[in-house]
């Protein structure tokens, strides 16, 4: 957990099943995602690389900086630029998300 003047981030392993489907194609599926909860943001699921079909992702030139998490790299799929991101060198407080992938529009599946 990290906390700075009212801003808080927690990262925990979640016992949920999440899937990422885009235009009918399964991009990722995990039963062991990390849930990142950050003040003012929706819960984001970070998926281990072995649960992501990385062969379907094209690296993007987009990079962003978060003062709490570090520098993010992005990937795209046809028709969806910068759909997924990861932190190759995250800040120490969120080190667990290193090299995990986070997608927009991740669905939690009820088994």
Domain assignment of residue 62, given as a range: 2-109
- Distance, first Cα to last Cα, the chain: 29
Residue pLDDT tens, the chain, 111 long:
555 577 999 999 999 999 999 999 999 999 999 999 999 999 999 999 999 999 999 999 999 999 999 999 999 999 999 999 999 999 999 999 999 999 987 778 866
Which CATH number covers residue 63?
2.170.150.40
- Cα distance between residue 23 and residue 45, in whole Å: 20
pTM: 0.90
In the DSSP assignment, the letter for residue 31 is S
In the DSSP assignment, the letter for residue 52 is B
Q: How many domains does the chain have?
A: 1
Assess contact for 20 and 103: CB atoms under 8 A.
yes
């Amino acid at each position: 957990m990290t906390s700075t003047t009212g801003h808080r981030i927690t990262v925990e392993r979640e016992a949920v099943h999440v899937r990422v489907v885009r235009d009918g194609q399964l991009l990722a599926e995990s039963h062991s995602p990390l849930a990142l909860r950050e003040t003012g943001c929706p819960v984001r699921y970070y998926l281990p690389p072995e649960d992501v079909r990385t062969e379907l992702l094209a690296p993007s030139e987009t990079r962003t900086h978060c003062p709490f998490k570090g520098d993010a790299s992005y990937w795209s799929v046809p028709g969806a630029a910068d759909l997924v991101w990861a932190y190759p060198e995250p800040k120490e407080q969120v080190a667990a998300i290193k090299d995990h992938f986070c997608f927009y529009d991740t669905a939690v599946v009820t088994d």
